[in-house]
Structure 1
Amino acid sequence: MRRSGLLVPTTGSGLWSARSGGVRWICGFTDEAALARFALLHAPGDRPMEYAALLGARIVDEILPSLDEPAGLAVDIATEGGSMFFPPVVGIVPDGVAVDSAEEMERRGHGG
């Protein structure tokens, strides 16, 4: 995932995301066909969906930590049986923003 190029839909205010389970999910797609399946459900009217091409590493190392809330990466969410989720946990996002890091657990009062 880190070395993969992903197509991430954009909005007027940034990258397209959805919130679920207390996590903000940035949605990325592995190819234009996967993005097109998503666009059929979420594009505004018949307008083409704008997107940015980003490396997975940039998303998890730079973009997710900048959101100031628990954030993960959801890949190919409109592909039946092919979706992948990378939650905001140690080993995926930087430890400082991982919800299961010792620092975060201590901050939330769950010990460590």
Structure 2
Amino acid sequence: MKNQKKTAPMKKYLSGGALLMALSACSSAGSLRNGTPTAVYMGSSSASDVVSCVSTAWATKHYQIDAVPLTSGTSLQLAESDSSPVLALVDIVPTGANTKATYYSRMPDDDTWFFQQVKSCM
């Protein structure tokens, strides 16, 4: 019984840590969206095709990509690792017969390649 009492607080600590990391990723993406977008594109490709295309292109780089559902679309978010903040994201949403992609970034280096991939997928 003593071991069970010692492990229970550890489980709470670990689950609390996981929740904190998830919330920090959300707030990281939210703070990016509070700024001016780096690029905004409209195109005739479907939103699902754009998500697939951008995801495939971005996967060739060393960043982690997370696909996060939005109310009306998908957000692809780049980070160094699970525990690091979001460095760039693109919100991809259908708008009538078209698709809108809004790219935000705080990459430490030139991120032209990333938003050019978004443009080419549109």
* TM class by smaller structure: under 0.3
Q: Bigger relative contact order, structure 1 or 2, given CA contacts below 8 A and separation 6+?
A: 2
TM-score of the two chains, using structure 1 as the length reference: 0.26
* TM-score relative to the length of structure 2: 0.25
- Structure (1 or 2) with the greater helix fraction: 2
Q: Which has the larger radius of gyration?
A: 2
